[in-house]
Amino acid sequence: MRTAIIRKEHFNAAHRLHNSNWSEAKNKEVFGKCNNPNFHGHNYQLEVKVIGDVDPETGYVMDVKVLKSIIRKNVLERYDHKNLNLDVSDFKNLNPTVENIAQVVYTNILKDLPEGLELKIRLYETERNIAEYPA
Amino acid sequence: MRTAIIRKEHFNAAHRLHNSNWSEAKNKEVFGKCNNPNFHGHNYQLEVKVIGDVDPETGYVMDVKVLKSIIRKNVLERYDHKNLNLDVSDFKNLNPTVENIAQVVYTNILKDLPEGLELKIRLYETERNIAEYPA
Amino acid sequence: MRTAIIRKEHFNAAHRLHNSNWSEAKNKEVFGKCNNPNFHGHNYQLEVKVIGDVDPETGYVMDVKVLKSIIRKNVLERYDHKNLNLDVSDFKNLNPTVENIAQVVYTNILKDLPEGLELKIRLYETERNIAEYPA
Amino acid sequence: MRTAIIRKEHFNAAHRLHNSNWSEAKNKEVFGKCNNPNFHGHNYQLEVKVIGDVDPETGYVMDVKVLKSIIRKNVLERYDHKNLNLDVSDFKNLNPTVENIAQVVYTNILKDLPEGLELKIRLYETERNIAEYPA
Amino acid sequence: MRTAIIRKEHFNAAHRLHNSNWSEAKNKEVFGKCNNPNFHGHNYQLEVKVIGDVDPETGYVMDVKVLKSIIRKNVLERYDHKNLNLDVSDFKNLNPTVENIAQVVYTNILKDLPEGLELKIRLYETERNIAEYPA
Amino acid sequence: MRTAIIRKEHFNAAHRLHNSNWSEAKNKEVFGKCNNPNFHGHNYQLEVKVIGDVDPETGYVMDVKVLKSIIRKNVLERYDHKNLNLDVSDFKNLNPTVENIAQVVYTNILKDLPEGLELKIRLYETERNIAEYPA
């Protein structure tokens, strides 16, 4: 049986939901107030879960200090106090729904994670709207 | 790999734990203060998780506005500010433990959910007593 | 300058809002779904603040173990897993709004508090509806 | 002694901190990443406290349903899913710091509040940065 | 499909991270401020999840009162207000990382759990550092 | 009317309650399990409230970045991951109750605060035990 370690971090960002292949009317109909052209924003809460075996020397699945620096480099420094649509290349052609952000965060963090570890992302857009990837 | 979206809602209800096939003494012994004949109550916190694929057009597993209206119709309008034992047909013959409520909420929501989506329920009776279905 | 100590406790109770001097129609109009005749319920969160001077021998404004036992005797044992309207004498002739419950809790606890200490009550009916007495 | 009722609401908005009388360099120096030209955003949590006497007929300081509709009209409908700098006239010439937003919310709500009630605002920009007005 | 019941408890303990096979320099390098020789401490939040079938007589996966007494005997009475390194035999030869504590709690509780039930532990060392076993 | 800004921070520390002028028996009787000779510990949550006028140039009562650095220097760097009784000079001759820690934090922060600002401290030893100074 394996063990998981979870680290919580957060970032504050502006975004809007928008599909550039659609008319303004369709965007408004589907995304409602989340489509506001001047953006709105959220305090995103991020939970990064890493699953693996506990190293008997350290008692760690993974050093949380290392995990924090991977999250900082790949997510916080790139998303915090930014406009996801305008400032972040990941969402140049991708609608920044909470589901899509969770998938992108997964891909970004995974590439810097030591081999043999499993990764899961939980992202809170608000206290009441949350995505998980992989489910 | 699939993605999940989670929506949190809440309702405030009265209930008591009681098995009508048992004597008053046995009910008191098994359910303790939860068996109080005049009821007590809780602020139930409900987490509804829907698992599926992200639609590339919308970036959604499912439109949360639709999910909210399914939860409202099937749970909130029927349970909120009600007495679960006396006012809600679901518990006419079913003891409203947190486990049983979670199972009934699952069945009620599932029938209105689009096909191909997986459903999981997490229900908080208090901050410290929680049920999940399916586990 | 004085120092405060705050102790949080909770109780789960059923209640309904009702003024027996009014018609059913007026009760329904004023109290809405909170007037449901079969009751509903809440997880009440209670914060008891005691203000005084720090005893240089103990470093305490008041021993929290003593404060807990005063809260238990005067509030928890009398309200927890009860129907406030039917089971608790304090609300025989008093509508159990969150404001009125806060005032009654204040009076009940104050009479057992050592002299010279100031008391304030904060009561959460839900996470979003709260009363304070005295304000 | 008076009693208080507190109602919590929330809104999600984009903003940036900026003083248009200052150079870009000074804005960047004083406001740091909060000055990002494309905005960032927050889930603002709002606590509206109303202090008064309890009406013996209702047991209310004020009907929370009425308070909610005052908050909705004056704050939520105007700020939620908006860009405070671009979409909200209140901040046309006012820097939307958490302190200034709290003061403006106070003024907006006060004018619709019944006479004789005292008002206090607590506004969370994040879980860790909070303003109160009046203090 | 099975159902889960989760019970949350907490304990407050001192600990330090240390591997007695390593030099002081290596301990300091790997564990940083968590290696402070005079210890530091945490409010540990513990979630114990038990998975099984719902008994049709009681509506329970397991009586939470019984689960609470198993947690109290095996964890709270042994860890609460203790120094994990010095006062608790479980960590005589085991580094009390959050991962190792979660595994030990799992083993301690499992031996008193009725047969046929599955067990999962979630342990919060802080709000931001969490372990799960099994993952 | 003045405005307040509140900053939340936290630190994790070990401590024990003990009065060196008392016998072991009296210490045990008064402080109970908090007197455990090998210490226990807490995740302390600290709220620092600063009350003043809003600067019309910045919209700030005080720059939160400056407040954070004052808290870091005077509290976090000296208390975090430390044993309050053994490692921190402030408690060489002072029992580290939550009341006493709040008073000492007040004095430490006040001396670095710009003139004309009022200071209030709220300190959570656990989610349920809190001190405020001044009250």
Contact call for C129 and D64, based on CB within 8 A: yes
Cβ neighbours of residue F128 closer than 8 Å, sequence gap 6 or more: C7, C8, C9
Convert the pLDDT of each residue in B82-121 to its tens digit: 999 999 999 999 999 999 999 999 999 999 999 999 999 9
Distance in angstroms between the alpha carbons of the first and the last residue of chain F: 19
| C30 contact D CB<8A | yes
Residue range A22-36: mean pLDDT, rounded: 98
**pLDDT the model gives residue A111:** 97
Closest CA to E68 of E2, E6, E24, E123: E6
Cβ neighbours of residue A21 closer than 8 Å, sequence gap 6 or more: B57
Burial F6-36 (b: 16+ CB within 10 A, else e): bbbbbbbbbbbbbbeebeeeebeebbeebbb
SS3 C112: coil
Contact yes or no, C with B (3+ CB pairs under 8 Å): yes
Q: What angle do CA E100, E101, E103 make, to 5 degrees?
A: 65
**pLDDT the model gives residue D54:** 98
Helix (H) / strand (E) element for E67: namely helix E64-71
Phi/psi for E78 (5° steps) reads -95, -25
Instruction: Name the CA dihedral angle for D76, D82, D85, D91, rounded to a multiple of 10 degrees.
Output: -20
Quick one: pLDDT band at residue A61, thresholds 50, 70, 90? Answer: very high
Contact call for D135 and F2, based on CB within 8 A: yes
**Residue D111 corresponds to which amino acid?**
K
Task: Establish, for the pair of chains C and F, how many residue pairs have beta carbons separated by less than 8 Å.
Answer: 62
Q: Is the pTM of this model over 0.90?
A: yes
The C-alpha atoms of residue F41 and residue E38 are separated, in whole angstroms, by 11
SS3 E118: strand
Residue range B11-23: mean pLDDT, rounded: 97
Instruction: Name the CA dihedral angle for C46, C51, C55, C58, rounded to a multiple of 10 degrees.
Output: 10
Structure tokens at C134: 């005295």
Which residue in F34, F40, F82 is closest to E83 by CB distance? F40
| D97 contact F CB<8A | yes
Cβ neighbours of residue A128 closer than 8 Å, sequence gap 6 or more: B7, B8, B9
Task: Establish, for the pair of chains A and E, how many residue pairs have beta carbons separated by less than 8 Å.
Answer: 62
Q: Answer yes or no: are the C-beta atoms of E33 and F81 closer than 8 Å.
A: yes
**Residue A6 corresponds to which amino acid?**
I
**Residue F79 corresponds to which amino acid?**
Y
**pLDDT the model gives residue D65:** 97
Average per-residue pLDDT for chain E: 98
The C-alpha atoms of residue B29 and residue B33 are separated, in whole angstroms, by 9
Known active-site residue B34: yes
Q: Answer yes or no: are the C-beta atoms of A113 and A70 closer than 8 Å.
A: yes
**pLDDT the model gives residue A122:** 98
**pLDDT the model gives residue E80:** 98
Contact yes or no, C with D (3+ CB pairs under 8 Å): yes
Q: What is the 3-state secondary structure (H, E, C) of chain D?
A: CCEEEEEEEEEEEEECCCCCCCCHHHHHHHHHHHHCCCCEEEEEEEEEEEEECCCCCCCCCCCHHHHHHHHHHHHHHHHCCEEHHHHCHHHCCCCCCHHHHHHHHHHHHHCCCCCCCEEEEEEECCCCEEEEECC
| C122 contact F CB<8A | no
Interface partners of chain A (CB pairs < 8 Å, 3 or more) are: B, D, E
Cβ neighbours of residue A66 closer than 8 Å, sequence gap 6 or more: none
Set of chain A residues whose Cβ sits within 8 Å of the Cβ of B5 = 98-99, 129-131
Antiparallel, parallel or unpaired: β F3-15 and D129-133: antiparallel
Convert the pLDDT of each residue in C11-50 to its tens digit: 999 999 999 999 999 999 999 999 999 999 999 999 999 9
The neighbouring-strand residues paired with A44 are A11
DSSP code of A119?
E
Residue E71: other Cβ atoms inside 10 A = 21
Which residue in A97, A128, A133 is closest to B60 by CB distance? A97
Convert the pLDDT of each residue in C62-115 to its tens digit: 999 999 999 999 999 999 999 999 999 999 999 999 999 999 999 999 999 999
Contact call for B131 and E9, based on CB within 8 A: no
Convert the pLDDT of each residue in D82-127 to its tens digit: 999 999 999 999 999 999 999 999 999 999 999 999 999 999 999 9
Contact yes or no, A with E (3+ CB pairs under 8 Å): yes
Distance in angstroms between the alpha carbons of the first and the last residue of chain E: 19
Set of chain B residues whose Cβ sits within 8 Å of the Cβ of A92 = none
Range of the domain at B40: 2-133
Convert the pLDDT of each residue in F32-70 to its tens digit: 999 999 999 999 999 999 999 999 999 999 999 999 999
| Number of structural domains found in chain C | 1
How far from the centroid of its chain's Cα atoms is residue B1's Cα? 27
Q: E interface mutation test: which of F10, F39, F44, F124 has the most E CBs within 10 A?
A: F39
What percentage of chain A carries pLDDT values higher than 70?
100
F111 burial type by CB count under 10 A (0-12 exposed, 13-18 middle, 19+ buried): exposed
**pLDDT the model gives residue F82:** 98
Contact call for A43 and D80, based on CB within 8 A: no
**Residue B92 corresponds to which amino acid?**
K
Convert the pLDDT of each residue in A99-118 to its tens digit: 999 999 999 999 999 999 99
| C43 contact D CB<8A | no
**pLDDT the model gives residue B135:** 97
Contact call for C58 and F97, based on CB within 8 A: yes
| B14 contact A CB<8A | no
How far from the centroid of its chain's Cα atoms is residue B87's Cα? 15
Omega before E134 within 30 of 0, i.e. cis: yes
Residue range A1-11: mean pLDDT, rounded: 98
**pLDDT the model gives residue B120:** 98
**Residue E102 corresponds to which amino acid?**
A
Q: Indicate which CATH number applies to the domain containing F41.
A: 3.30.479.10
Residue range B21-50: mean pLDDT, rounded: 98
Structure tokens at D76: 């939520």
Which residue in A7, A54, A65 is closest to E128 by CB distance? A7
Distance in angstroms between the alpha carbons of the first and the last residue of chain D: 19
Q: Tell me what ipTM this predicted complex has.
A: 0.96
Residue range D6-26: mean pLDDT, rounded: 98
Contact call for F127 and C4, based on CB within 8 A: no
Residue range D72-80: mean pLDDT, rounded: 98
Task: For chain E, list residues with pLDDT below 70.
Answer: none
Known active-site residue E125: yes
| A72 contact E CB<8A | no
Known active-site residue E57: no
Q: Answer yes or no: are the C-beta atoms of D62 and A108 closer than 8 Å.
A: no
